[in-house]
Each structure stands twice: as structure tokens, then as C-alpha cells.
Structure 1
Amino acid sequence: MTDNNNRIDVKNVTPKTRSHRPTDDGHIYVRAQSGKWQRLRKIMGWVLMLVFLVGPWLQWSGRQAILLDVEHQRFHVFGTTIWPQDLTLLALLFMVAAFGLFFITTFLGRVWCGYLCPQTVWTFIFIWFEEKFEGSANKRRQLDKSPWNANKIWRKAAKHTGWLAVSLLTGFTFIAYFVPATELAVGLATFSTGFWTGFWVLFFAFCTYGNAGFMRTIMCTHMCPYSRFQSAMFDKDTYTVSYDVERGEQRGPRPRKKDPKELGLGDCIDCDMCVQVCPAGIDIRDGLQYECINCGACIDACDQTMARMGYEPGLISYTTEHQLKHRETHVARPKLIGYGIIMVIMLGVFAYMATRIMPMGLEVIRDRNQLYRETTEGLVENTYTLKLLNKTLEPATYQLSVKGMDEVEWIGPSEVSIDGGEVLSLPVSLSADPYLLSSPVRDITFVMRRQGADAQDSKSSVSTESKFFSALR
């Protein structure tokens, strides 16, 4: 059953008075804003950007530390190589990330969107170029309305040049996680890179240019599914950016030294600064809206206005519906605890499976043309192809053997050396005297053991089951 008492009430967000929304023909002119929440957002954004840019250039044991080598079907993550057989780990990692997002959203609303989402980080970088070359929000609006002249052309050209430079750097860096960074850089610099590699660099550069430059709020409100299903995780104990209606209304201008109570007014002076600094162009005073990304810009703007007026800060703040109604906020509630427990369980399973990754792999493929053949000596012979995989970064030597049949003879190499990260296809045969076999089908086990490894090491060998066929005597 649904807990109706914990739902956030649906509100009529139609404003009683017209807000000075910074939009013209759908374009939002975001006003620059400073404050503690914007400092935090910038710090987290730059940390994320730095990690993204530096990631492809990190080295580990003479190899790119993070390389998602799709062509060769292997992902290198520092000292670990993940092969297709280990992709369950990636699925678990995505599940951990999903439940982590659910947990954070239930607790703190859309803070991911406001502080760490790449769309938000790149959007604010592009807005920074707008401010540097075209000026403040009002100047940008006036510039767009003005006729084309030399001043407008050079400012627009400089802004778009900056956007294109960031977009190309983004496209290059993203593809450098899939193609070795040095190889990609040399190939692009000498125009010798492959067609598809160059295409994907330009494709992701184009996407960055379009998303952060022109489709900012469209991406967040119409294309990203998170803004739509987030409401399913919100409740009256979720911390969101909210306006204190009880304290703020009635809103309206007044002299700074005049007591608002004497004028029948609340603390909101209706300056609309909260609207002008909002990257989504919404009025938080209209209530909770799915466009809000919880970036806190309106909080910083309102707190500065309250300080100038001599009022207490916090008219707009990170708070809960229960706190606004002077009720107790329950942080440890069943839904939040449930998300947390599932996330911890998934993280534990991921950690366990990560520690169980074998440094080698063995796959056995039987000869599909015939079950067995009889040799001129009267022996029964079965043919197999062994796929031997060295998942480590260093070359290694392996001993091969078979268990389950003492009377069988191994035909082929029983000791092989494989370079780090390589796969070796090895054809081998097993032969046996049919008169010594008790049944026409015998279960056998191929064993691959790393030479020189401790026999007690559980990761020193790997085995795969197969069958040996013969005629019934």
C-alpha cells in the first residue's frame, strides 16, 4: 500500500504575479552568482573535469591505466583486466551506482544533477565563456537583440571558438578512454587516424557543443529520464531546495529600514534574483518543480539579499516538507534504509566477485565434425581446441593436463607460454584404448595451472569440464 501521508502535495505552480524570468524566445540568460553553494559546485565540477581529462593519460605498468579496449574485447582498469567473461562485474557496478543514486536522491534530492552531472558541469563552463566574451546576463540579452556589427561578430566568434575548443577536447578525451591516448593524439595531429576513430571524436564534440551550448534545459527536462522518475523517490523527508512560503509571503518591495510586519509583508522583497540566477529559468517560489536541479544558486542569491536587508538567511534553503510545516524530519526511514541495504549488499557482492577474478581463463571447444575417430593403432581419439587466456599484464607459462581418465594419452603441447593479455588457441587430442573404457561417454576435466605458482594458491589454476566419447565395446 502507498503511504499517502508521506507524499509531497501537488501544488498549483501558476504564479500569482508575473516573474521576471530571464528568458527570450526560450533562451535563458543566467545571471552570475557567487556564494557557498556555488563555490562547492565549482570545486566539485572542476574536480570531476580534472579526473575526466587526466584519466586517459595515467600509466600503469607501462600501459594506459584506464583503457576500455572494445576492439580487443578487454577493459584495462589499472592492474585489473576485465574480459567478456567478467562483464557481470560491470553489471553489478551499474547496479551499485543505480541504488547509490536512488539513495542520494531520496535523502538529498537532485544533488547529482546540480553538482556532479556532466551536463551541468559542461553547461556552466559554456556559460563562463558567455560571461567572459559577451558580458553579464543583461548585456547578453542586449547583444542578441542588437543588429550585427563588428563588435557583435567578434564577441560571438570568440564565444563559439571557446565552445568548440572545449567540445573538441571533450570528444578527444572521451575517445581516449577507448583508443590509446598517445596513439589517438599522434593520429589526429598527423591526420593519419582511422575514419571511424575521427568520426567518433567529432561526433562527441558535436554532441557536447549542442548539449551544453544550445540544448541545456532541453536535455535536463525533456531528454534525461532522471528528471521524470525522480519524483517516485521524493517524500516529505527529502531535502530539496525550497521556499518558505509562511515566512516569505506576502512578497513585495519595501524600504530597507521599514519593518515588513507593519506593511503586512513577508521577508520576500520580490527582487526575482532567485529566478535570474536559476540555470533552468524557474521560480522556486512557485513550489517544487521537476526542472529544479538543486544547484543552490537561488539559495546563495536569496541569502545575499536577506543580508542586505538585515533579515535572517534561509528564506530559500535545503530543507524538507516536514521542516517547512514545523514537523520532525525522519532521516532514517524505511525507504532510505532499504536503498542503503541493497546498495551495501550489491557492493559486497561486487567486491567479492572482484577478488575472485581469475588471472587466467580456459575454454574447451570440441571438434564439431565428429565425436571421435579410430586411429590405425585401434585407439579412440577425441580432438579439442583449448582457448587459453592470460589475463595478467606479464607473460606466463602454464602446465596443461586432464583429469578423470587415467588411461588417456595427451597428444599435443602440455606446456605453453602466453604473453600478457593474449589469447592462445591450442589444438590438442586425447586418445585411449577402447577396451579399457567402461562406458562410451566419460566426464573429463581440463586443467590449466600457472608454472611456479604455489599449489595452495586458489588462483593458480583453472579447470573446465568436457567429455570423452568412444564406441561401445
Structure 2
Amino acid sequence: MSQDKIDVKDISAKAKKTQSSNNKATQNSDRFNPSNRIYVRESKGTFQKLRQYGGWFFLALFALTPWLNFDGHQAILLDIGNQRFNFFGTTLYPQDLTLLALLFVVAAFGLFFLTTFLGRVWCGYLCPQTVWTFMYIWFEEKLEGNANKRRKQDSQPLTSQLIYRKTLKHIAWWAIALATGLTFVGYFVPIKSLVIDSLTLNLSFWPAFWVLFFAACTYGNAGWMRSIMCIHMCPYARFQSAMFDKDTFIVGYDTKRGEQRGPRSRKADPAKLGLGDCIDCDLCVQVCPTGIDIRQGLQYECINCGACIDACDNTMDRMGYKKGLINYTTEHKLSGHSTTIFRPKLIGYGLVMLIMVGLFFVQLNMVEPMGLSVLRDRSQLYRVNTSGEVENTYVLKILNKTQKPQQYQLSVKGLEQASWYGKKQVWVQPGEVLSLPMTLGVDPEKLDSPVSKIQFILSDSNNFAIEVESRFIEKL
């Protein structure tokens, strides 16, 4: 193994022990099993503001995007039923889905690059699981009280007031979950008709099923499972260590400065008491959404949300100590060495990501606004008409990949002397595949070979044209 790799510690038992001592409750006294339940304390500070603003921005982007219109149509609509995918003015079909593969590759290497550089900041700031979890916790705090109050309430018998507050909380959770499910399905079903049908209870089975399915997933994941998703079910937590090295920015605790930890008064000199700057307040544990103690070292449960940094900085500020006892840092910096930002692995991930982005836009630029396929009549390869011409029959399938009706012109190259029997100008509706039968007839004396290569040409009003090759057969 490379010497630049760092071990990711699993101290789940220690974390649970610390959490249990902080909760001061036992499994027998709490019907919700506090040994597996984390009461997240509210944390305020720079990184929590950044997380909140970022979360609200992307949440608004998620909610409003399906309502965007472009040229009279829903701007982004992944219409799986009709196998048509609208992205503003571009319509993609299954044959264009190499773009989707390239987009996934870009996203994968973007995540690799971000993780190698800044650790699990995706998990802490942008992951939907984190955004929705903190949103649910906000409602929990407003309706049931802070972490200590909730912990105490859950260890005591239910009262009518507590039932009332918990009912309001779950109503709010379900409202968010249903709005989330409705919005998500709105990316695949026209959002306006989806909302109207939902409000009038006329929603058909499958859209209703998927709305309720994603609502239940949101409610369960953000309301009940929370850290279980991050710790036990998310594969990213398991393979992240392959991308970490000693120059990766992580949430780290400065052991040299903090130890020995211990309580003291604000006026006391920690040096005289033989103590470090950590006053062992355990706030860093209480605000952690996954319930770990960052002072034990890097752990795979850490999602780099920075809650412990803000909590510790607030404590340091109150004690009159320098901030940064817990901070975004690197293993090299913690051990007294310099940090190398531009290293081969990071540069490699970045280059591959940029190449894939370039290929994506090149491929996107090559998407044609129309499609043409040519099928020969295989039941009769050729025939001779009453005028003595050799005839070949074809079926032209014309696809309008735009979002407006289009007029197309048809012509043939390679047999300019041929007679065209059928329409040469057609109107095709958006997304329509028009089947157009037609026949070519040629005087056999004008043919140079028994089988001639020809090209059918389809052009639109903007002079964009595509060619499809076929054959004209006189005899075999």
C-alpha cells in the first residue's frame, strides 16, 4: 500500500460509549433505544451558515427546475414512457444516451477529484441525505425543543402535549416528503398536470405509486434512519479511503495542542494545570450528526460537515483561546509537515474530468435535430413498371427530434435520373416518427451496374441535412 494512504479508523464502539455517557440514558429508560439514536445539538458558525446557504440553494434548484419552461415546453423532462428526454431546446432519444454515460463519468471523476482534495465535503454540504436530514432536525428542534429537552422527553412517559408536538412534527415531515416525491416525479411526468391531478385526486396508478414511494423513502431516510444511511448503507463511506491521502483536507483535531484535555475555569492557566486547550466539553460530539468523537482521529463516519469545528471555535472564543483546535486540515499538517496540494493523483482526476467534459460537449454538439432511417421492401427486391422502368420501393422513417413542427425536404443522390414516386416534402410533428413509403424508378439503360449505391438526403428549413445510404437493385 502507498505510504501516502492513511488509515480510516472505525471506533464505533467508543463513539457509542461516549454518546451514551453524554445522553445519560439507558436503553431500558428510553422507548426509542438511545444507544442507537443520536440527538443532534444545534451548532452555529461559519461552516454551518455555508452548509445552510448551500443546502437551500440546491434545494431551491431542485424544486424550481421542473417548473422552468422553454419555448412553450417543460425545459427538463425525462419522458421515459415516450423514450424522449427534453433538455431546454434539445431533445434526446435512446440512441443519444451515450451522453448520459459521459455525464456519469464526469460526475464520478468530479467526486473523486473533490474527495481527494477536500474529503467528504459532498456528504457534509450537498448530499440530499444531509440536506433533508438537517431540514427534518430543524423541524424537530422547533416543535419538540433542543437536543437535551428531546432526550429527556423521550425517556419519560408520553403526555398529551408531547403527543401533540410529535404529531405536528410528523405532519411537517410527511408534507416535506410528499412535496419531495411530487417534485422528483415531476422530472419524469409533466409537472403541471402531475400537480393538478394530485390535488384533484385523479392521479393514475404509476405516478401515484412513485410519488408515495419516494415520499416514504424521504420520510424514512431523513426522519428515522439518518446517520444509518451514511454509516451503513452508503457505499461512498466504504471506498472513500482509497481516495484519501495525507494531503487530503479533512476535519481534524490538533492533538498536540488539545491534550491533555480537562475542564477548567476561564481565568485558569492551562499550562500550570498541565492541560491542553481542549476543555473536554464534548460539544463536538453532541453536534455531530453521525455521533462520533473527532478527537479520536479520522473515522469513516465523519461527513466533513464542520459542525464540530463551529462548536469548538465557539468554545475557544468563550475561553479566550485561539480558534482552530478542530479545523479543516491535513494529516501532513497535523504531523508538522507541509501540505502538497497539486499532486499526481489530484491532477490526474482533474485532467480526466476535463477531458470527459470536453467529450460531453462535443457529443452534445453532434446531436442531430432529426433522424432518418431507410428500409427496403424485402418482399420484392425490384419490379418493372408499365413504362419499362425498374422500380425499388422503400419506407423512409423520419423522426423530428425538435420541440416544434418541422417541414422536411427529401432527395436522392447517386441516381439523379431516377423518377421519385411519393412525397418529397413533408410536415412532421415534435417527437413524431413519420413512415413515408416511396418508390424510385429508373430506365435500366441508365444504370451502370446491377446494384447501385444511393444516398437519401433529408434537409430542414435551416439547411441542416443528413444522409443515409441504401441500395438500388436492378437484378441480382
Q: Which range, TM-score by smaller chain? A: over 0.9
Alignment check: 8 A CA contact 2:8 2:300 kept:
no
Correspondence 1:449-464 to 2 at 5 A? 449-451=459-461, 453-454=462-463, 460-464=464-468
Compute the displacement of 1:377 (Å): 5.0
SS of structure 1 residue aligned to 2:340: coil
Compute the displacement of 1:291 (Å): 1.0
User: Are 1:295 and 2:293 counterparts?
Assistant: no
User: 1:337 is matched with which residue?
Assistant: 347
- Of 459, 466, 469, 2:470 maps to 466
Q: Which moved more, 1:380-389 or 1:26-35?
A: 380-389
Taking structure 2 as the reference length, the TM-score comes to 0.93
- Of 5, 8, 11, 1:7 maps to 5
Compute the displacement of 1:8 (Å): 1.1
User: 1:234 is matched with which residue?
Assistant: 244
Identity %: 60
Q: Which moved more, 1:321-330 or 1:63-72?
A: 63-72
Unaligned runs of 5+ in 1: 455-459
Q: Work out the CA distance in 2 between the residues paired with 1:334 and 1:407.
A: 63
- Of 187, 190, 194, 2:204 maps to 194
Unaligned runs of 5+ in 2: 24-33
Q: Work out the CA distance in 1 between the residues paired with 2:19 and 2:211.
A: 40
User: Are 1:133 and 2:143 counterparts?
Assistant: yes
Compute the displacement of 1:430 (Å): 2.4
Alignment check: 8 A CA contact 2:381 2:392 kept:
yes
Taking structure 1 as the reference length, the TM-score comes to 0.93
User: 1:277 is matched with which residue?
Assistant: 287
CA RMSD of aligned residues (A): 1.9
Q: Work out the CA distance in 2 between the residues paired with 1:308 and 1:374.
A: 99
- Of 410, 414, 422, 1:400 maps to 410
SS of structure 1 residue aligned to 2:172: helix
Q: Which moved more, 1:25-34 or 1:416-425?
A: 416-425
User: 2:420 is matched with which residue?
Assistant: 410
Alignment check: 8 A CA contact 1:434 1:471 kept:
no
User: 1:182 is matched with which residue?
Assistant: 192
Aligned pairs, how many? 464
Q: Work out the CA distance in 2 between the residues paired with 1:427 and 1:192.
A: 41
Compute the displacement of 1:374 (Å): 4.5
Correspondence 1:317-336 to 2 at 5 A? 317-336=327-346
User: Are 1:34 and 2:34 counterparts?
Assistant: no
Compute the displacement of 1:133 (Å): 1.0
Compute the displacement of 1:394 (Å): 2.4
SS of structure 2 residue aligned to 1:279: coil
Q: Which moved more, 1:328-337 or 1:404-413?
A: 404-413
Q: Work out the CA distance in 2 between the residues paired with 1:12 and 1:415.
A: 70
User: 1:457 is matched with which residue?
Assistant: none
Q: Deviations over 1:139-165 (max 9, x none)?
A: 111221221221121111011000000
User: 1:49 is matched with which residue?
Assistant: 59
User: 2:18 is matched with which residue?
Assistant: 19
User: 1:163 is matched with which residue?
Assistant: 173
Alignment check: 8 A CA contact 1:20 1:272 kept:
no
Q: Work out the CA distance in 1 between the residues paired with 2:4 and 2:222.
A: 36
Alignment check: 8 A CA contact 2:259 2:276 kept:
yes
Q: Work out the CA distance in 2 between the residues paired with 1:9 and 1:204.
A: 36
Compute the displacement of 1:406 (Å): 3.3
Change (3 A) 1:367 1:42: same
What is the one-letter code of the residue matched to 1:248? G
Q: Which moved more, 1:352-361 or 1:324-333?
A: 352-361
Q: Work out the CA distance in 2 between the residues paired with 1:367 and 1:285.
A: 76
Q: Work out the CA distance in 1 between the residues paired with 2:239 and 2:393.
A: 55
Q: Work out the CA distance in 1 between the residues paired with 2:276 and 2:385.
A: 99
Compute the displacement of 1:270 (Å): 1.1
SS of structure 2 residue aligned to 1:228: helix
What is the one-letter code of the residue matched to 1:461? A
Q: Work out the CA distance in 1 between the residues paired with 2:36 and 2:14.
A: 18
Q: Work out the CA distance in 2 between the residues paired with 1:332 and 1:244.
A: 24
- Of 84, 93, 113, 1:74 maps to 84
What is the one-letter code of the residue matched to 1:469? I
Q: Work out the CA distance in 2 between the residues paired with 1:66 and 1:156.
A: 38
Correspondence 1:437-448 to 2 at 5 A? 437-448=447-458
Q: Work out the CA distance in 2 between the residues paired with 1:110 and 1:180.
A: 35
Q: Work out the CA distance in 2 between the residues paired with 1:418 and 1:18.
A: 69
User: 2:393 is matched with which residue?
Assistant: 383
Q: Work out the CA distance in 2 between the residues paired with 1:331 and 1:11.
A: 24
Change (3 A) 1:367 1:223: farther
SS of structure 2 residue aligned to 1:381: strand
Alignment check: 8 A CA contact 1:244 1:316 kept:
yes
